[in-house]
A and B are shown apart, each in its own frame.
Chain A
C-alpha cells in the first residue's frame, strides 16, 4: 500500500516551453502533497506544499508563477514548470500523505532536462 507514482519519469524539453509533471497517489487519498527538487549530490529541497482544493504554499525563494502547482483531487497533483530554462533542469520528486498519518510517501521522481 501507499504507492505514489509520477509521470513522466523523464522529460526533455526546449527552453521556453512548459512541462507538466503528474503525481498520483494510487491506493490512498492524499490530503497533502509536497513537491521537492533534488540537485546532484544535494538533499531534497522542499518547493511547495499543497492541500487538496487549496492554493499551494510555496517555500521562500520558489517562484510561484514559474512552478504552478495544482491539487485538484485527492489523488492527483500536478507541477507545471512554465517557460523552462536550462537552470530548471533537475530531479523533481513529489510526496503525499493522508490526514491520519505523519508519514510522507514519495514518488520515484521525474528527471527534467531543459535544452
Chain B
C-alpha cells in the first residue's frame, strides 16, 4: 500500500541545535513531496516542496529538505532551531504527478524546543 512514514512521533531539541525530521514514502514513481508545519490554532503552512530538479530544496524559515530517490526519503533539516519552531511537522506526498493534487500525509512529528 502507498504510504508516508514519519518514524519519529516526538523530537525534543535544544534551541540553537540542528534538526532533522525524517520522512519516507512508498510509491513507485517519483512523487511530488511537501513539508507542512502546523501550529496550535493555525492552519498547515507550507514549508517547502519538491517536484523535480535539484534534490536539495530550500524553504521558508531557514528549512531545507533533500530528496533521496535511493532511500525513498525526503528529510527536513534546519541548522539552528529557534524556540518558535516548536510545532507539529507533516510530510505529504502527491503521487498523481500533479494530476489530481491529492495529498497523503504522514502522521506528523511533534517538535519540542528546550531553551
Cβ of B67 under 8 Å from chain A: no
Interface size class of B (residues with CB under 8 A): 20 to 34
Q: Is B103 in contact with chain A by the CB < 8 A criterion?
A: yes
A83: min CB distance to chain B, Å: 27
User: Within 8 Å CB of A32, what residues of B?
Assistant: 101
A108 touches B106 (CB 8 A): no
A109 to B36, CA, bound (A): 15
The reply to whether B43 and A103 contact each other, CB–CB distance below 8 Å, is: no
Q: A44-B90, A107-B43, A108-B42 are in contact. Are A102 and B107 (CB under 8 A)?
A: no
Query: B23 to nearest A CB, angstroms?
Result: 12
A102–B101 contact, CB under 8 A?
yes
* Of B44, B49, B107, most A-chain CB atoms within 10 Å: B44
Chain A at the B interface: SS class = strand
CA–CA, A32 to B98, complex, Å? 13
Inter-chain contacts of B32 with A (CB < 8 A): 102
Rounded to whole Å, the gap between the CB of B4 and the closest CB of chain A is 8
Closest to B110 in A: A41
Say yes or no for A76: interface residue by CB 8 A criterion: no
> What is the bound-complex CA distance between A105 and B32, given in angstroms?
16
**CB within 8 Å of A: which of B60-115?**
90, 94, 98, 100-108
- Give the B-binding residues of A (Cβ under 8 A): 4, 6, 9, 32, 34, 41-46, 49, 93, 95, 97, 102-109
Please give the residue numbers on chain B whose beta carbons come within 8 Å of chain A beta carbons, in ascending order.
4, 9, 32, 36, 41-46, 49, 51, 90, 94, 98, 100-108
